[in-house]
Every structure is written in C-alpha cells, then in structure tokens.
C-alpha cells in the first residue's frame, strides 16, 4: 500500500472501499450521544482493519498500471483509487467528530493524521468523486505514455529525449526536445483546472479553506507558519546557490556565446542538461575547473566491471547490510521492475513500493548503467528500508516523520558514495587526493544545490493555484515568474498562455507535493553530518562515508522506526540532537567549493 513514486509517498494509496458507509464505524447510532475516548479508539481500530483488508489489492492495481499502462489496468486503478480516496475522506470527516472529545495524545495524533492524510480530497458527491479519480488516472496515463513526434515515423519518449539533452551541446536539438516534451502537457491543462476545483470542494468538506491549506497542515506546525520555515532555510542556502549560478552562467556564456547566454539575465532553461533545468550535473564538462581533476568515472567503472542492473541493485543492498540492516526479501528480486518492459508502456519514473505494508518491498525503475542511476538505486532502497523499519507501527504511523524525511534518507546514504566507498567495493583502485575535491564537490553541487530553489518553487506555484489565488490563464506566467525569482532560469522562447509547462513535470499531474524534495535536500546534509559524527569519522564532511558503521546504522534505524508516531521534531532530535531543520551542514560540506567559486566570480557580474 505504502508506495513512493520517484521517491514519493502517495497518500491516496492508503484507503478502503466506498461500499462501506461511514455508519459502519458505529458512529451513526451515537450521533446524538456523547462520544467517548473508547469510541475514538474503536473507530481507529475499524479504520485500520478496513484499510488493511482492501488496501493491498488497491496497491496491486496501482502497481499493475504503473508497470503496464493500458486501458484495462487504468480502469481498475481509477476505480479502486476512487473508492479508497472517497472512503478515506469519509473517515476523515468522521474523525472530526472527536475534535472535542478528551483522548490521549496517541489517539489524538492518529485522528489528526487521518484528517490530513489525503493529497486530493474527493467530495461527498459520488459523481464528483468518480470524476476526480478518473482525472487523476488519466493525467498519470497521459504523462506516462507521452511522446514527442517529429513526424509520423519518428517519435521520442521522455527517457530518450532526456538522455539526448544530457549529452547534447547543440542548442537547436535541445530546444526541439524541450519544446516537444511541453506539447505533451498542453492537453492536461483543462483537466487539471477541473481537478483543482473538485479537490477544493473536498478540502472544504474536511474543514480546510482549500487544498493548499490541507497540504500545508501536514508538518506539525500551523499552516501559515510552514512557508516561513521554508523561507528561513532557503535564506541559509541562497548565497551559495547564487555563487554557483554565477559561475555556471559565465561558463555557459563562454561556450555558447553571450548572445545565447547573456551575462546579466537568467540562464535559458534548455541549456542545463536536464529537461526541467532542475539539476545541472550534465553540464559539468562545460563548467569544471580548468586544472585537470581526477574525478572517479563511476559509469565507466560499472561498464568495465560488467555491472548489469541486478548487480547494481545488489551492491546498493550491500551498503545497507554493512550498517546492520537485514537483507531484502526474495520477493523483492522476483517482483521489482528493474528494466523497461518490452512491448508495453510503463512509468519509468523511479519509485519504491511496499504493497502490503509489511515485507512486499519493490522498486520500479528503467535502470540505465550509469553513475547517476547507481546513486538513484541507493536512494530508492532508502525508501524501502524506511518502509520496513516502521511496518509494525499502527497504520496511520507508517510513514515519513515529515515528507522530507523519506526523500532524505536515501540521499543521505548516497552522500556516502565517496571515493573511499568506491574503493572499498572495488569500483576504483585509488582514492584521489584532496586537490581533486573541487571537481567532486562541483559535481555534487550541480545536482543538489542547483535543485534546491526548484524544489522550493514548484509548491510555491501550486499553493497559489490550489488556493485559487491565480487564474488558469496565468498559470504559465506564474510558473516562469517563480522560476526566474528562485532559480534565475528562464524559458528559452516566448510561451503561450495556453501552455501548461508545470504539467511537463511528473509531480504536478500526479498531484504529489514537491516540498518534500526541498526539505530532503536540506535534511540529507544534516543527517549525513550527524551520522558521520556517530561513525567517528575524522575526514572532512564531504569525504566521509558511513559504509560499514554499525553504530551509524543503529542510530539511523532508531529514527526510522519512529515513522510518524511522533512529531518530526522529536524524530530529528533522536538522530541529530536538535529539533530544528538546519542548512548549515551544507556550508560545511561545500566549504572548499565556496572558496573556489568566490575566486572564479571575482570579476563577474552576478545576479539576474
């Protein structure tokens, strides 16, 4: 039931059938009576029993559709998603009846989690609820099966276009694919607008002002305070990001010409090696230091040692085993999707799944034999080990302490994929000395620091949309206004008001909150610093690997086992000793690179 799509927890995967009425909980007969604490406990027991009974087949339907996109699987997935989400919403409304009942803290927390558990809340009207589920399924299908066609005989999938944009240095080709993929999202816009309208009706029925407020209440703090916390964290990172942006823009301008990349404007989005300009690692060769850097080529090492997809996953599993975690079950290897299936469409978006809330762990990937994918595999397994750690908690506690924790765990592990680790597992023979660290740190920053403002702005856009603060004809304009404000990135061409460029990013049509990724990119460095301290590492933070440290593994597992049973601030304290999220570990991790960037930028005009 518990599934992570591209490392994403999708709450709608948890639910139960619409044929069960709210009255089945026994509350209907007591509406006029005084509800008690025992009534609340009985209600929660009923909810958990129904979810566990019907959630498993619903998860299997979702898995079947994700790995085999066709009409029949779409119908089954949409039908069960409707039933599950509608009943979750009904139970959420029922939970509100206990708002004034005196209950213990544990019961109160579960009731609150039940009320806020949906990403998209269906209204009580069955026709609208059915329509909401159908739209969700259709949007996911449109994205998963999307292609750009030059002509009748030459079409490209997102995977193919992304692979070409990663290596191409031809602005015309990159612009063609950039534009082509955004044609896929145009038909989504009308459906998305309708989805927002229906979802807001459901949110109001749950007692929220709109879906935006529903999303912002999930973080153990007042909804209006949460955005302020994000602004505080971004403020810690922003100076370093602006230094990185300044260097990258200058180097791209030198390569493509100032007429293509002006030195006083945002960077054109199609030139950064990624379909969404969300990470910039693929332009490393254009922006790397002039001096020769001995940076391990993991892609080459994998090829030279004949790593196939399974062996790559086995190696990632061995990292967790070295920390003291039990090996993955046999069913993981039998049921996961490691390669794109032949002869059918599938969602290649990397994701980690637990289909029975116990041990049916799986990943879904179309693995490419690259160093980047090697990291992604470690990331996805982080989700699986987190899912297994909290499997014995009450169902409403089986999840991430906050949405950023789940994403951060795998990335924390990936930070330990250092030259030391690569040597320990035999992928490289020698560890480059510290004079090579600038190259390594620049590579990491191009992926992780470049991502942070994108991770922030997606939901900055969506919260305004879901709150009805922006009209559909302004959707695209707001999207690019925010990208300019936070990222210093701009559309390479004028965009029509009919365009729906947000829909070209999976998480928008899939209705998956994106703030989790922003938080994860902050938390992973904070977690890494804490684990390195526990492991007793004496190396610089960017050189530390916790591979083989049972002490670090025990400390990590202690936090993972808490799930969401306590506020995330307590889970944070368990590992780091502090209840606060803090981006200062980023400064420590990238300290040598910041000095180098400042030197490169001495005579440059920065900002946009």
Active site residue 542: no
Tell me the C-alpha distance between 431 and 476, whole Å: 47
- Find the angle CA(95)-CA(466)-CA(16) to the nearest 5 degrees: 35
User: How confident is the model at residue 30, as a pLDDT?
Assistant: 53
* Complete DSSP assignment for 53-96: HHHHHHHHHHHHHHHS--HHHHHHHHHHHHHHHHHHHHHHHHHG
The predicted-structure confidence for 69-114, as pLDDT tens digits, reads as follows 999 999 999 888 878 877 787 888 888 889 889 999 999 999 999 9
Over residues 28-35, mean pLDDT: 60
Strand runs labelled E in 355-495: 361-364, 489-490
Active site residue 380: yes
User: How confident is the model at residue 53, as a pLDDT?
Assistant: 81
User: How confident is the model at residue 108, as a pLDDT?
Assistant: 95
Find the catalytic residue in 6, 383, 521, 528: 383
Task: Give me Rg for the CA atoms of the chain.
Answer: 24
- What residues contact residue 239 under an 8 Å CB cut-off, 6+ apart? none
Segments in 218-305 forming alpha helices (H): 226-256, 284-287, 298-304
Mean pLDDT check: name the lowest of 24-28, 241-245, 480-484, 514-518: 24-28
Active site residue 517: yes
Tell me the C-alpha distance between 499 and 186, whole Å: 6
Find the catalytic residue in 245, 247, 379, 521: 379
Tell me the C-alpha distance between 412 and 382, whole Å: 9
Mean pLDDT check: name the lowest of 10-24, 196-210, 236-250, 368-382: 10-24
Identify the band that residue 415 occupies on the pLDDT scale cut at 50, 70 and 90.
very high
Over residues 443-453, mean pLDDT: 95
Find the catalytic residue in 91, 346, 380, 450: 380
Find the catalytic residue in 6, 245, 247, 349: 349
12, pLDDT greater than 50 = no
Find the catalytic residue in 140, 269, 301, 350: 350
355 near 56, Cβ under 8 Å? yes
DSSP conformational letter for 219: S
The predicted-structure confidence for 276-302, as pLDDT tens digits, reads as follows 999 999 999 999 998 877 878 899 999
SS3 127: helix
7, pLDDT greater than 50 = no
SS3 8: coil
User: How confident is the model at residue 26, as a pLDDT?
Assistant: 52
Identify the band that residue 15 occupies on the pLDDT scale cut at 50, 70 and 90.
very low
DSSP conformational letter for 156: E
Q: Which long-range contacts (CB under 8 A, 24 or more apart) does 532-536 make?
A: none
> Most distant CA pair in the chain: distance in Å?
78
The dihedral of CA 361, 364, 365, 366: what is its sign?
Answer: positive
10, pLDDT greater than 70 = no
Tell me the C-alpha distance between 528 and 412, whole Å: 6
The predicted-structure confidence for 354-366, as pLDDT tens digits, reads as follows 999 899 999 999 9
User: How confident is the model at residue 33, as a pLDDT?
Assistant: 61
Find the catalytic residue in 352, 517, 520, 528: 517
Active site residue 350: yes
Distance of CA 14 to the CA centre of its chain: 18
User: How confident is the model at residue 467, as a pLDDT?
Assistant: 94
Residue with tokens 């690259």: 370
Residue with tokens 């196939």: 308
Tell me the C-alpha distance between 448 and 344, whole Å: 33
**What are the Cα distances from residue 160, in Å, to 165, 167, 182, 350, 366?**
9, 11, 15, 15, 12
604 near 263, Cβ under 8 Å? yes
Find the catalytic residue in 6, 247, 507, 528: 507
User: How confident is the model at residue 2, as a pLDDT?
Assistant: 52
1, pLDDT greater than 60 = no
Q: At what angle do helices 188-205 and 126-144 cross, to 10 degrees?
A: 140
**Residues 357-367, buried b or exposed e (16+ Cβ, 10 A)?**
bbebbbbbbbb
14, pLDDT greater than 80 = no
The predicted-structure confidence for 178-224, as pLDDT tens digits, reads as follows 999 999 999 999 999 999 999 999 999 888 899 999 999 999 999 99
User: How confident is the model at residue 56, as a pLDDT?
Assistant: 87
What does pLDDT average to over the chain?
A: 91
Residue of 88, 121, 99, 114 whose CA lies nearest to 204: 121
573, pLDDT greater than 90 = yes
Find the catalytic residue in 176, 357, 373, 407: 407
Q: Any idea where the domains of the chain sit in the sequence?
A: 2-143+189-216, 298-431+515-577
The dihedral of CA 287, 292, 297, 303: what is its sign?
Answer: positive
């Amino acid at each position: 039931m518990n599934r992570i799509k591209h490392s994403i927890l999708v709450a709608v995967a948890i639910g139960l059938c619409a044929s069960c009425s709210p009255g089945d909980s026994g509350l209907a007969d007591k509406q006029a009576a005084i509800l008690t604490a025992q009534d609340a406990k009985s209600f929660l027991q009923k909810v958990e029993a129904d979810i566990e009974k019907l959630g498993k087949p619903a998860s299997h339907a979702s898995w079947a559709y994700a790995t085999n996109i066709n009409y029949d699987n779409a119908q089954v997935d949409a039908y069960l998603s409707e039933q599950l989400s509608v009943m979750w919403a009904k139970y959420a409304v029922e939970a509100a009846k206990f708002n004034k009942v005196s209950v213990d803290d544990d019961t109160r927390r579960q009731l609150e989690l039940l009320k806020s558990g949906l990403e998209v809340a269906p209204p009580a009207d069955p026709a609208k609820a059915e329509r909401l589920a159908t739209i969700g399924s259709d949007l996911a299908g449109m994205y998963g099966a999307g292609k750009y066609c030059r002509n009748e005989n030459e079409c490209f999938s997102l995977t193919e276009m992304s692979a070409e944009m990663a290596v191409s240095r031809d602005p015309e080709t990159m612009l063609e694919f950039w534009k082509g993929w955004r044609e896929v999202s145009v038909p989504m816009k009308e459906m998305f607008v309708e989805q927002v309208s229906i979802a807001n009706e459901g949110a109001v029925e749950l007692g929220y002002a709109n879906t935006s407020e529903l999303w912002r209440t999930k973080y153990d703090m007042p909804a209006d305070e949460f955005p302020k916390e994000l602004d505080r964290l971004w403020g810690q990172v922003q100076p370093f990001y602006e230094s990185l942006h300044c260097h990258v823009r200058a180097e791209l301008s030198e390569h493509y010409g100032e007429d293509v990349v002006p030195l006083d404007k945002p960077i054109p989005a199609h030139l950064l090696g990624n379909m969404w300009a969300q990470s910039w690692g693929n332009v490393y060769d254009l922006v790397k230091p002039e001096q020769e850097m001995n940076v391990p080529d993991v892609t080459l090492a994998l090829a030279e040692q004949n790593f196939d997809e399974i062996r790559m996953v086995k190696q990632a599993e061995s990292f967790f085993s070295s920390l003291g975690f039990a090996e993955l079950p046999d069913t993981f290897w039998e049921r996961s999707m490691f390669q794109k299936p032949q002869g059918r469409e599938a969602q290649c978006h990397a994701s980690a799944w637990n289909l029975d809330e116990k041990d049916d762990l799986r990943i879904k990937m179309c693995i490419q034999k690259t160093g980047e994918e090697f990291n992604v595999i470690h990331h996805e397994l982080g989700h699986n080990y987190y899912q297994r750690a909290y499997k014995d908690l009450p169902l409403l506690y089986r999840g991430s302490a906050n949405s950023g924790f789940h994403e951060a765990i795998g990335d924390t592990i990936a930070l330990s994929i250092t030259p030391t680790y690569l040597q320990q597992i035999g992928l490289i023979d020698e560890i480059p000395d510290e004079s090579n660290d600038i190259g390594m740190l620049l590579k990491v920053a191009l992926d992780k620091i470049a991502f942070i403002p994108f991770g922030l702005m997606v939901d900055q856009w969506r919260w305004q949309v879901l709150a009805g603060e922006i009209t559909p004809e302004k959707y695209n304009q707001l999207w690019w206004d925010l990208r300019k404000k936070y990222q210093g990135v701009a559309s390479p061409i004028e965009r029509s008001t009919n365009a729906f460029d947000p829909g070209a990013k999976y998480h928008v049509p899939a209705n998956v909150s994106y703030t989790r990724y922003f938080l994860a990119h902050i938390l992973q460095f904070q977690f890494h610093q804490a684990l390195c301290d526990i492991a007793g590492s004496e190396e610089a933070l960017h050189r530390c690997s916790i591979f083989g440290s049972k002490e670090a593994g025990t400390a990590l597992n202690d936090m993972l086992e808490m799930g969401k049973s306590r506020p995330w601030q307590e889970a944070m304290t368990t590992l780091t000793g502090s209840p606060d999220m803090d981006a200062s570990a980023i400064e420590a991790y990238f300290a040598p690179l910041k000095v180098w960037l400042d030197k490169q930028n001495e005579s440059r005009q920065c900002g946009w």
